[in-house]
Each structure stands twice: as C-alpha cells, then as structure tokens.
Amino acid sequence: MKQTILVTGGAGYIGSWIVKGLIEKGHSVRVSVRDKSKTEKYSHLLDIDKHYSGTVELWEADLTVLNSFDAAAKGCDSIIHVASPFTLSLKNPQENLIDPALKGTQNVLNAATKSGTVKKIVLTSSSAAIYGDNVDWNSSTMPNGLSEEVFNETSSIEHQPYSYSKVLAEREAWKIFESQNIWDLVVINPGFVMGPALTTTSNSGSIDFMNDVLTGKFKMGVPELEFSFVDVRDIAKAHILALENPKAKGRHITTNVEMNVMKMTQIIETVFPHKFKLPKMKSPKWLMVILGPLFGVTRQFVKLNIGHPLKLNNSKGKKELGMTYIPIEKTIVDMVNWMN
C-alpha cells in the first residue's frame, strides 16, 4: 500500500538510500532539510525522483527547534527518523552530538503524536546504543554476540560521547512510545556503516574514516581495532522492511561482519594494488596509548577497545525482517570506487 512517509535526514548518507528505496516502491516521501536554499544538499534526490513513480517533497525543519517537525509530520502515515549527527570528533559533544540527537528525537516523535495520522515510526539508532566499548562484549555473558536485550551502560559525555548520544536518544524514544498508544515504534541498530553514497555532499564519519585510510593517515601503522561493519544499502533495506512488516517489533541489530581495520585495508590493497597509502603493519597498543591523544583518541578508548574482539548477534533481524547482507568485500570496493 502506497504511503506518505516523512524521512528526517533524508538527504544524508543513510537517508538518501532510504528515500531512493521508498520512491522506487511508489511512496510519497517528505524529506526534512534545515535549509531549502542549499539545493546542492538534496538535488540528487530530485534527480532520482524523475525515474520512479514515487515523489519527493522538501520540508524545512531543524532537530533542535521546538515543534519544527509538526507541519511536515501532519498528514503522514509513517516516519523514518534518521537525522542525527555522526562524527568521530570529540569537540563540543553536548552541542554537536547530544542536543541534536536527544532534542531531535523528542521533536520528531512528539510531532507524530500531534499529527493524528502517523501510525508507525522507524527510528535509526545504532549498535552504539547496545555497547560502548569492545570490552563490553568481552565482559558479557553472550558468547553468540551482544543482543538487543542490552543497552550501553558504559558511555558518557566524557567517554564515547557519540555512543552516549545514541543511547540517550533511543531510551528517550522508548519512553515517549510508552506514553502514547497512537503509533508503533521499530528501531534499527546499525553497525559501522560503510559503502557508496548517492551524493558527493554526504557528510558522515564513515566517509571521513575511509578517507583517512586511503590518504595515508594510518600509513605508519593501523591500530588493532575491530568494528562490526554493514553496507549503507543494507541499512536502507532494513528500514524499509521494518516499515512494511506489521509484525516487526522492538530493536534490530543490523550488521554484517566483525573485522579489524587491517583486514579492511588488505581487501583494498588486493583490488587496488599500490594505489593508496595503506598501512603495512599494526600499531602496537603501547604506542597507541602514547600517540592516541595526538589523533584525538583518548587513552581510555585505547585501553577498552584496541586489541579487544567484538561480536554482535544479528539473528533477530535476519529472522524477523528477512535481512540478507551484501558481502563486505563488495561494500568496501564500491565505497573506494565511489570516493575515487
């Protein structure tokens, strides 16, 4: 059934793929942007719009402005709330991460309640709302990987502020959900999102990270740091499956494979031999403790993440949403090709 769907952050890295998937299916999509005069931020969506039966409308709204989403939500059947900053920077975390994540969630969900029409919300959370540091799995009692049952209890504004912003926002979403009986809530908890973007104006920590890898920031050695990676196109698919499936409930860890950064660079070197300034060795942990602060990495982060394996359990998403995943090699190669 065709719907009118508000996608917050629909011009961003993840949101653009969600919007593309929705208009391919013929839905009417409202995309929130902070400033409609900055057409370069969303022109790619209007280009995609020309090729499919669905439609795209642009609505101005700001995560941190009270009631900003009320007009955009009114008349919608559903909302996919993607908009939330992702940066690896530690500068001004309250202003740059926590305020927009928390206030944005409150504004969007309250707009849904006031709309009188919205029946379902799909929220983009993060695996960072499941755990704060890799050591959290090591100290858990979940050999098959951390599951949706757990919330990140170890992050704070001083340590892992991005993760802290995500767990605060998701907990607030569940609190607002429990206070009403008008709309249903389904949450997607992605791993570290990688893969090609639909626009060169995308601003994401994922793209910044890959750029650092390709341009030689880690040429002298890469930390033994393990992530749980997932393709941006699979994250978009998960949101749409969650929207369409009336039986989808609760949280869904949506991630493909755990892998350290050295393995990722080896995949790049195999496909693009000698093209990039890639690391040839791992940096010893003791050196990271000393040099980490020069790269904006705290000693506490090094202690709790470097050298610690990670495992997330994605079985619920496979079973309940029917998720399948793009091979990680294709994700990495497609991203490198897009960036070059």
> What are the extents of the domains in the chain?
4-339
**What local confidence, expressed as pLDDT, does residue 218 receive?**
86
What pTM was computed for the model?
Answer: 0.94
Confirm whether 166 is a catalytic residue: yes
CATH code for the structural domain at 4-339: 3.40.50.720
Choose the catalytic residue: 41, 120, 166, 316.
166
Q: State the SS3 of 271-285.
A: HCCCCCCCCCCEECH
Count each helix (H run) and each strand (E run) in the chain, helices first.
Answer: 14, 12
Question: DSSP readout, 66-85?
Answer: TTTTHHHHTT-SEEEE----
Nearest to 253 by CA among 165, 172, 315, 163: 315
CA distance 275 to 272: 6
Structure-token pair, residue 330? 């294709």
**What local confidence, expressed as pLDDT, does residue 315 receive?**
97
Cβ pair 84, 123 in contact under 8 A: no
Rounded to 10 degrees, the C-alpha dihedral 115/233/166/310 comes to 150
Tell me the average confidence (pLDDT) per consecutive run of 10 residues in the chain, 340 residues long.
95 96 96 93 90 93 94 98 72 86 95 97 97 90 94 94 94 97 98 94 85 90 91 98 96 97 95 94 72 68 91 97 98 96
**Could you identify the residue written with the tokens 């050591």?**
135
**What local confidence, expressed as pLDDT, does residue 113 receive?**
98
Residues 6+ apart with CB under 8 A from 130: 146, 147, 148, 150, 151, 152, 189, 253, 312
